[in-house]
Structure 1
Amino acid sequence: MSDKELAANEGIKIRSNYLRGTIAEGLADLSTGSLSEDDQQLLKFHGSYQQDDRDLRAGRRKHKLEKAFSFMIRIRVPGGVATPKQWIETDRMADQFANGTIKLTTRQAFQLHGIIKSNLKRTVKEINDAAMDSIAACGDVNRNVMCNPNPHLSEVHAEVLKLSEDISRHLTPATGAYHEIWLDGEKVETSEEEVEPIYGKTYLPRKFKITVAVPPSNDVDIHANDLSFVAIVEDGKLVGYNVAVGGGMGTTHGDEKTFPRVADIIGFCTPEQAVDVAEKVVLVQRDFGDRTNRKHARLKYTIEDRGADWFLAELNKYLGYDLGPVRDFEFEDNGDRFGWVTDHRGNHHYTLFVEGGRVVDTPGYPMREGLREIAKVHGGDFRLTANQNLIIASITDEERPGIEALLEKYGMSKSHERSAMRLSSIACVALPTCALALAEAERYLPTVITDLEEKLEELGLRHDAITIRMTGCPNGCGRPFLAEIGFVGRGPNRYNLYLGGGFAGQRLNKLYRQDLDAADIMSTLGPILEHYAKDREEGERFGDFVIRTGYVEATKQGADFHENIKPEALAN
């Protein structure tokens, strides 16, 4: 154990009485639109962040008004699968309580933005009335468990989805605080202290993220997550999972002790062992993770400091049995397959492109209205993808003509007739609501792509998928460090530009230009795209090309390499 002073959040958790704090009292105080700083930290465990509209800050400050506080609620959707009724209810709440939009996140969850404090409790209650919840959607716990929403090998989807749901349920905090605060649950008076059987009184050192992937698709980006299960399918049957640990994207500008890291694949487990493995990986991190420095508290640093071999040995002790040897698998990409596909059962699925994951009605494109109308008649389900898109899934032969008609009516039937680069894009929310944002992302990336598309058309690259991602800060919510082209905000209209990520999400990119002015993006990328169009090899991906031709050096990260990334590997 370290003799260093614990991070401040550890004290907040210890004093919180299992995540209660004074949240209930703060909600009742209508003299302010905010909560206390401690309660803002605890609120994350309940799935909500306090925010304010940064576009309005200067004006409100001038008139000596409190910031325009509001709250974001993140709704857990294990495996990304929601019913049509849940979609309708989320859509209704977006109008009734939020800002009239639904954000599809890069972790297959819904986000509602712009909820004022007086509506916060009612919104959480109605989320639960719709058979969803927000507990553990944020905070120092396991968050929404991701799962490939429409595997190429569709016959295993039910099994891998069930695993994601089982893990999510098993790792949900046991505290009664959520029900007491938000659902008016009865407080049980007892002399015995409450128990968190998995997390303990101080929960985890930091957030924890789990995914389930089905090769050949790596759409959930296993290398960006603390723990992942890679489905191994033989002769159409799920035989088990490879276990990957220690991935993570977050870093801090100017702090070389922080860095993104790809996961190590350390072993194999059977389907029956997977939930147990998930619990024991969490327990190892609970017991050995750094609680003195939150910037060094993720599982990636525990493994970076101690080594993957140490972690595997420790995990095997916790399990009481050994993981098996890693099985062979191969990823082909980490994108979505758009338009119509039909699975082996004859069910149809339509993948809709949702730019920036923002479901909103705009002049000429009433997407949100159209999805609401589809939800009213759809008998299947909706699946959120890890790339912020949406699958209208499990459509029968009888349903398809009606769904097709609604897609056509509301302008969604050709949503995927965009450049392959735009279809391969991700942007985090960033400004104006994210308190951490240093630059624009969701509101700006579409403009960047529009500018690049003219060059792509000229070069004949319109249909060549190049993954491009933009985040407003280096915390990595949009997984920018795995993109072939990644922008990370440094300040207003300024970005670090990274190049060379693996097309299948298996390799980190590297810093190419630091503090790049937004006005210089085209002049910087244009010549590289010209070079790519002219001199690429047959089938060569953009990320591989910029390494081969010397724009950036290769980083030995990913499924083919099990070496840990070092901070200096990110410096060009």
Structure 2
Amino acid sequence: MTQTTTPTPARSEVEKIKEASNYLRGTIAAGLADALTGAIAEKDTQLLKFHGSYMQDDRDLRLERQKQKLEPAYQFMIRLRMAGGVCTPAQWLKLDELAQRYGGNTIRLTTRQTVQYHNVLKHQLRPLVRGIDEVAMTSIAACGDVNRNVLSSSNPFQSPAHQEVTDWCIKIDQHLRPQTTAYREIWLGEKRLGADQEDHEPIYGKLYLPRKFKIAIAIPPNNDVDVFANDLGFIAIIDAAGKLQGFNVAIGGGMGMTHGDAATYPRAATVIGYCAADKVVEVAENVLKVQRDFGDRSNRKHARLKYTIDDRSVEWYRDELNRYLGWSLEAARPYAFTTNGDQYGWLKGSDERWYLTLFIQNGRIKDWHDYPLMTALREIAKVHSGDFRITANQNLIIGGVTDAQKPRIEALVKQYRLLDGSQQSALRVNSMACVAFPTCGLALAESERYLPDLVTKLEDVLREAGLADDPITIRMTGCPNGCARPYLAEIGLVGRSPGKYNLYLGAGFTGDRLNKLYKESVGEEQILAELTPLIQRYAKEREAGEKFGDFVVRKGYVKAVIEASRDFHG
């Protein structure tokens, strides 16, 4: 009898590029030296992501340059790696300086607690990377098929264990960084390995991961990092005395999907067990390794951890993880989230220092003619002795302020009229948008440049309904990749085409349940027409303490998404 075997799926082109790259080198160095074009080779654009950068072009200029038979206005986005989003005032001043020299006088705070620069020209990349290296910062693995910046709850007012959780965040981040010497060789001019030497990646191997991998650590009761949006989430378990005991482990979160492809979908992570605090790095490494070995390397749209889990089952992944560990996770411990946003204004931490959370609309830091935000933060950094903390909601915390120093910081805040959230509506401070146009090559519609205007119109609706002070999460992205986590917003808007968005409703306010498509491809007029009566009904018929996302599910506007693979599109 002839025996048949199942053929191994062909690997994707990106897998082949990684394998041939000599540990992420490719021909990046040669491409940077080519002064005849503002671009680099297409294959190298895939490798460049591992170094923290994407090649883009100014889409506002694209058609005009095509008419003039000019190549696109190529530029680069470069993102830093900042575990937990923390940096010193000296580092902030350097980030500010580099933004003025290379980044178009603006800094973008991201939803992964870091900063990124746009509008960087090719010849500026090396000096920019060298600049961030001067203050012990890096862009390695801020993008690419690796573990990216590890998130951690931002504000220590909520728990005496906050610093310990932040320390574990940094340890995980450092442990999972790629070991290739290509980064320092290409960008910092360090000596290349000899002919008889080869890089070694003890965790990733030569092919790295099948797709990107994201980790976050949350401290209940505040899910400010949207822990369930991540491939791997750790939920801190803290006892009554405020001591960190360990972490619940959640796996399989992810926001990306593709319009019109029901095989792709966002997913909220599933809690699978508990580990002691001193085991958290080991667990992180082995969750990653299981995905390294079993993730789909043939279809990149199916390569995230969420699909590996849904293909094989949560139970299979837990059993495989326990096998890799050589010991078993314990049963998950009880926990509860009550919010997932930032706590604005001045708060005193358990360390007896002050923390001021500023509202930074969509994470954009620059000087407007009537709001010199960038200058204000620069002046604060010059006198500040604590730290700066970027939140996962694109805001900024002036952290570790002493009683003695607080009046000086307060005076600068007042001088520059900085926004601490109290001057904004509850909807606006719970809003978030991705960059989209003009720099993102994937954008189908506006996001950052449009959401503030839409929020203004919705504020009028909420005010008339008597809901101006009621928090509702609203998030917008220019494409379905989900960089602003729109599928965990009570109102999610995802770009379909210029001026048109898919409207999603019904997520849990604490970030524990996905929303669901309510209306497809709607413009501003229809968005307002759909939301206005719904908001009015919510104001009149909600139950005590009921959140907007729960209300629209209870009233049948959308069904609750319990199992993403079945319910999100179904």
TM-score per shorter chain, which class? over 0.9
SS of structure 1 residue aligned to 2:94 = helix
Matched, 1:30 2:35: yes
Specify the alignment match of 2:13 in structure 1.
8
SS of structure 1 residue aligned to 2:449 = coil
Runs of 5+ unmatched residues, structure 1: 557-563
Specify the alignment match of 2:3 in structure 1.
none
**What is the TM-score with the length of structure 2 in the denominator?**
0.98
Counterpart code for 2:9 = K
Change (3 A) 1:346 1:54: same
Which of 199, 211, 217 is 1:206 aligned to? Answer: 211
TM superposition shift of 1:152:
4.6
Distance 1:456 1:371 in 2: 32
Specify the alignment match of 2:62 in structure 1.
57
Specify the alignment match of 2:394 in structure 1.
388
Which of 450, 453, 458 is 2:456 aligned to? Answer: 450
Distance 1:167 1:344 in 2: 24
Cα offsets for 1:498-545 (capped at 9, x unmatched)? 000000000000100001123322111111111111111111100001
Cα offsets for 1:286-306 (capped at 9, x unmatched)? 000000000000000000111
TM superposition shift of 1:473:
0.4
Matched, 1:473 2:479: yes
Which of 248, 253, 273 is 1:247 aligned to? Answer: 253
Distance 1:416 1:183 in 2: 44
SS of structure 1 residue aligned to 2:343 = coil
Contact 2:157 2:347 in 1 (8 A): no
Specify the alignment match of 1:493 in structure 2.
499
Specify the alignment match of 1:559 in structure 2.
none
Counterpart code for 2:224 = D
Matched, 1:222 2:227: yes
Counterpart code for 1:76 = R
TM superposition shift of 1:193:
3.3
SS of structure 2 residue aligned to 1:334 = coil
TM superposition shift of 1:158:
1.2
Which of 490, 502, 510 is 1:504 aligned to? Answer: 510
Distance 1:138 1:184 in 2: 21
Change (3 A) 1:477 1:2: farther
Specify the alignment match of 2:347 in structure 1.
341
Matched, 1:565 2:564: yes
TM superposition shift of 1:151:
4.0
Matched, 1:87 2:86: no
Q: Alignment RMSD, CA only?
A: 1.1
Contact 1:499 1:510 in 2 (8 A): yes
Change (3 A) 1:166 1:460: same
SS of structure 1 residue aligned to 2:289 = helix
Contact 1:352 1:416 in 2 (8 A): no
Counterpart code for 1:334 = N
Counterpart code for 2:188 = L
Cα offsets for 1:271-323 (capped at 9, x unmatched)? 11110110001110000000000000000000011111100110011101111
TM superposition shift of 1:191:
2.0
Cα offsets for 1:415-461 (capped at 9, x unmatched)? 43110000001100001100000001100000100011111111111
Specify the alignment match of 1:553 in structure 2.
559
Distance 1:288 1:453 in 2: 47
Matched, 1:278 2:284: yes
Change (3 A) 1:413 1:570: closer
Specify the alignment match of 1:72 in structure 2.
77
Matched, 1:115 2:120: yes
TM superposition shift of 1:74:
0.2
Counterpart code for 1:320 = G
Contact 2:157 2:348 in 1 (8 A): no
Distance 1:260 1:294 in 2: 15
**What is the TM-score with the length of structure 1 in the denominator?**
0.97
Identical aligned pairs, as a percentage? 56
Specify the alignment match of 1:561 in structure 2.
none
Distance 2:361 2:438 in 1: 17
Distance 2:295 2:419 in 1: 48
Specify the alignment match of 2:361 in structure 1.
355
Contact 2:157 2:350 in 1 (8 A): no
Cα offsets for 1:183-220 (capped at 9, x unmatched)? 10111204243211000000000000000110001111
Change (3 A) 1:414 1:277: closer
Runs of 5+ unmatched residues, structure 2: 1-5
Distance 2:382 2:93 in 1: 8
Counterpart code for 2:528 = M
Aligned pairs for 1:281-300 within 5 A: 281-300=287-306
Distance 2:421 2:515 in 1: 29
Specify the alignment match of 1:440 in structure 2.
446
TM superposition shift of 1:153:
3.0
Matched, 1:256 2:262: yes
